[in-house]
Amino acid sequence: MDDGADDQRYLISGADGLTAYLESDVLFWPLQSESQPLTIGNLLLAQKKVVPIHRVPNQQGLQEALDQINQARDKKKAAWQRKATAEYRARLTQYKSILMDAAEDDSAGVNYSVVARLRAILELLHDEVYRDDQSDALLANLDAKLRALVLPSSFLWSNELQESFPAEKYWFLYAKSARGGVR
């Protein structure tokens, strides 16, 4: 069961490196002892998952990290926007590639939990970035392809997170693979 400790640790680690990350040209910034790199999307996802703070067993340092993230975001708005936009484009390309692999229905298949996490990050970045009609159309087209590969199901993540990720907006977190290309 996900108790929020991993997301809390990620936020604290990410907050410490956020200013340097925003000032750099690196899009996926490695964090020591974290499996996920520092990105705006990963930060937004971790924040959304720990917002119900009652989920986090040890809150020490969490509020300071959240405050630090918000301060860096406010002070470096243009850099935040650039990083978020670049990440949105990169993740949209990744989403397209994964769905193309799934359509080929290769024997390895695609792990649906990876697809769902990627799509959740895209959803969170969607409101952060300067979008154009072309990227919105691409996302809608890719979502149509994903919908053809999945069936409605129970919520993929811990039940405590359901309130933070309503089915209307995060429909892909309430799905499972319908065939071999996505598992």
Predicted confidence (pLDDT) per residue in 58-101, tens digit: 567 888 999 999 999 999 999 999 999 999 999 999 999 999 88
Q: How much is the pTM?
A: 0.90
Q: Which of 98, 80, 2, 90 is nearest to 44 (CA)?
A: 80
Residue type, 52: P
In the chain, what are the domain boundaries?
A: 5-76, 80-177
CA 50 to chain centre: 13
Q: Is the pLDDT of residue 32 over 90?
A: no
Give all strands (DSSP E) within the chain, no chain letters: 150-152, 175-177
Q: What is the pLDDT of residue 179?
A: 66
Q: Which of 114, 113, 123 is nearest to 155 (CA)?
A: 113
